[in-house]
């Protein structure tokens, strides 16, 4: 499937993956599309697109605020899928949705899976669906060519890491802090131990998220992991630069800086 091919190609080439997160519809739909285009131009081959939800248990205040803004301006799961379809058609990036199960159940799991597959969505992260309850979603998504991306927490015991790795595909999403997004920063020493332990039991590419906020932490994480996922820091840049009408340029500048830090010997796309 596309996500597995993209992640494995990146790893085989020796490039570290930078996965930016944007909230669908924040600050508006057209800007979201422009942000995804900027990410592709900055060499990001996978982009995480957040589905706004009223009760996002894994998201901190920054992403919660962006979700509330998007919801207030009419963003829905259906419109997010339409947005993902446009982004996929206009850019050479693999779109991974990050959302919660309630809106999917309201739409209907099979309907959602079909629409996601038709939209060209490459993957889905469901932080409120544990491994033990993921079989139905994994089956429905896989049938439509969409990868269910599994998360591994720092607190996961070894047996659980093995079981997650045995089911996972694409890449493993390593949650580097105990808490919600944007609530703190990962520590280099903790990352070494955490990524090293997961690496012992999983052959998939390992991407570190939740707590990677800038150049230094991205460098530290990719010294041992295969990629980083950055969300709250980007949403904060969008929020702070939206007033002067230049969030896309600021996001591109930030992504170029991170790419230079984690892939110093590789050329970034023009």
Alpha helix stretches (DSSP H) within the chain: 2-13, 29-41, 61-72, 77-90, 101-107, 109-119, 135-143, 158-167, 188-199, 215-222, 232-241, 247-262
The answer to whether 121 touches 142, Cβ cutoff 8 Å, is: no
Token output for 161: 């890491």
Residue 140 included in any domain: yes
Helix (H/G/I), strand (E/B), else coil: 126: coil
Instruction: Note the pLDDT of residue 270.
Output: 44
Instruction: Note the pLDDT of residue 3.
Output: 98
Residue span of the structural domain in which 90 resides: 2-258
CATH number at residue 130: 3.20.20.70
Active-site annotation, residues: 48, 59
Q: What is the DSSP string of 10-26?
A: HHHHTPPEEEEEEETTS
Rounded CA-CA distance 44/38 in Å is 9
Residue 270 included in any domain: no
What global pTM score does this model have?
A: 0.93
Instruction: Note the pLDDT of residue 180.
Output: 41
Q: Is the peptide bond before 27 cis (omega within 30 degrees of 0)?
A: yes
Residue that has been written with the tokens 């930016």 in this structure: 20
Residue that has been written with the tokens 């607190």 in this structure: 155
Taking only the tens of pLDDT, the chain with its 270 residues reads 999 999 999 999 999 999 999 999 999 999 999 999 999 999 999 999 999 998 877 677 899 999 999 999 999 999 999 999 999 999 999 999 999 999 999 999 999 999 999 999 999 999 999 999 999 999 999 999 999 999 999 889 999 999 999 999 999 999 987 544 444 455 556 788 899 999 999 999 999 998 888 999 999 999 999 999 999 999 999 999 987 879 999 999 999 999 999 999 765 544
Residue 163 included in any domain: yes
Q: Which residues, in sequence order, are CB contacts of 140 under 8 Å at separation 6+? A: 109, 110, 112, 113
Residue 266 included in any domain: no
Residue 231 included in any domain: yes
Instruction: Note the pLDDT of residue 16.
Output: 98
Considering only CA atoms, give the Rg of the chain.
17
Residue 263 included in any domain: no
Total domains present in the chain: 1
Helix axes 135-143, 109-119, angle to 10 degrees: 40
Tell me the sheet residues that pair with 20. Answer: 230
Residues in the chain: 270
Residue 267 included in any domain: no
Query: How many other CB atoms are there within 10 angstroms of residue 89's CB atom?
Result: 9
């Amino acid at each position: 499937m596309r996500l597995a091919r993209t992640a494995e190609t990146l790893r085989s080439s020796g490039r570290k993956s930078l996965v930016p997160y944007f909230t669908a519809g924040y600050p508006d739909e057209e800007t979201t599309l422009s942000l995804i285009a900027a990410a592709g131009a900055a060499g990001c081959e996978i982009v995480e697109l957040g589905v706004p939800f009223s009760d996002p248990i894994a998201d901190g205040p920054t992403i919660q605020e962006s979700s509330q803004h998007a919801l207030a301006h009419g963003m829905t799961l259906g419109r997010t899928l339409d947005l993902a379809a446009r982004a996929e058609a206009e850019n050479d990036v693999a779109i991974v949705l990050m959302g919660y199960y309630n809106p999917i159940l309201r739409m209907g799991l099979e309907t959602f899976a079909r629409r996601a597959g038709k939209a060209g969505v490459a993957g889905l992260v469901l932080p409120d669906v544990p491994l033990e309850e993921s079989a139905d979603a994994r089956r429905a998504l896989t049938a439509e060519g969409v990868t269910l991306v599994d998360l591994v927490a720092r607190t996961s015991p070894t047996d659980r890491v093995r079981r997650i790795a045995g089911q996972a595909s694409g890449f493993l999403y390593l949650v580097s802090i105990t808490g919600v997004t944007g609530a703190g920063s990962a520590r280099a020493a903790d990352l070494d131990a955490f990524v090293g332990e997961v690496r012992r039991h999983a052959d998939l590419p390992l991407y570190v998220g939740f707590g990677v906020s800038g150049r230094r932490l991205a460098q530290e994480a990719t010294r041992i992991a295969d990629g980083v996922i950055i969300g709250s820091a980007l949403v904060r840049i969008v929020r702070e630069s939206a007033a002067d009408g230049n969030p896309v340029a600021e996001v591109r500048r930030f992504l170029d800086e991170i790419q230079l830090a984690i892939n110093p010997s590789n050329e970034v796309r023009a």
